[in-house]
């Protein structure tokens, strides 16, 4: 259990499955997804291979069966209120905050990543 406090109800779990084994995805979360990191899985008779992100409707009962050794990430939780805007590595609930982040990045106002020496310039809009 992590000592980090949470602001929302969410989960993020690594799931390892051997061929022929299954795992359920909890139907009680509003937003749920599975990222296939490695291997091939089957859901409701349909096969999916890595790398792939699968997003599910709320309430659907999902059971994942491994066709080969599989490494998966189960993730989801409560839906966030309001819209989210995404541009490059920036995510915000306000468009103007994205524009401020662009300026902060260009001006070097973000704290450097420890041990990272390369600067990646802001992509062209």
Written in H, E and C, the secondary structure of 50-97 is: CCEEEEECCCCCEEEEECCCEEEEEEEECCCCCCCEEECCEEECCHHH
Please state the rounded mean pLDDT for residues 14-43.
Answer: 96
Structural domain including 55 reads 10-77
Whether residue 3 is contained in a domain is answered as no
The verdict on residue 5 lying in a domain is no
CATH number of the domain within which 57 lies: 2.60.120.1030
Domain match, 18 and 72 both:
yes
User: 55 and 92, same structural domain?
Assistant: no
pLDDT at position 113 over 90: no
SS3 121: coil
Q: Which residue has the higher pLDDT, 54 or 108?
A: 54
What is the pLDDT confidence band of residue 41, given thresholds at 50, 70 and 90? very high
Question: Looking at the 3D structure of the chain, how many domains does it have?
Answer: 2
The answer to whether residues 71 and 86 belong to one domain is no
One domain for residues 17 and 55? yes
Q: Examine the domain organization and report whether 90 and 42 are in the same domain.
A: no
For the segment 44-59, what is each residue's pLDDT rounded down to a tens digit?
A: 999 999 999 999 998 8
Residue 60 contacts by C-beta under 8 Å, 6 or more apart in sequence? 27
Residue 6: pLDDT above 90? no
Same domain, yes or no: 70 and 89 = no
List of residues 6+ apart from 57 with CB closer than 8 A: none
Taking residue 38's Cβ as centre, other Cβ atoms within 10 Å add up to 13
């Amino acid at each position: 259990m992590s000592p980090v406090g949470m602001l929302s109800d969410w989960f993020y779990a690594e799931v390892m499955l051997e061929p022929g084994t299954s795992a359920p995805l909890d139907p009680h979360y509003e937003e749920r997804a599975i990222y296939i990191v490695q291997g091939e899985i089957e859901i409701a008779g349909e096969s999916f291979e890595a790398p792939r992100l699968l997003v599910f409707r709320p309430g659907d009962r999902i059971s994942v069966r491994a066709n080969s050794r599989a490494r998966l990430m189960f993730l989801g939780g409560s839906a966030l209120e309001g819209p989210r805007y995404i541009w490059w590595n920036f995510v915000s609930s306000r468009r103007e905050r994205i524009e401020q982040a662009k300026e902060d990045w260009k001006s070097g106002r973000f704290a450097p990543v420890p041990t990272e020496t390369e600067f990646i310039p802001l992509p062209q809009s």
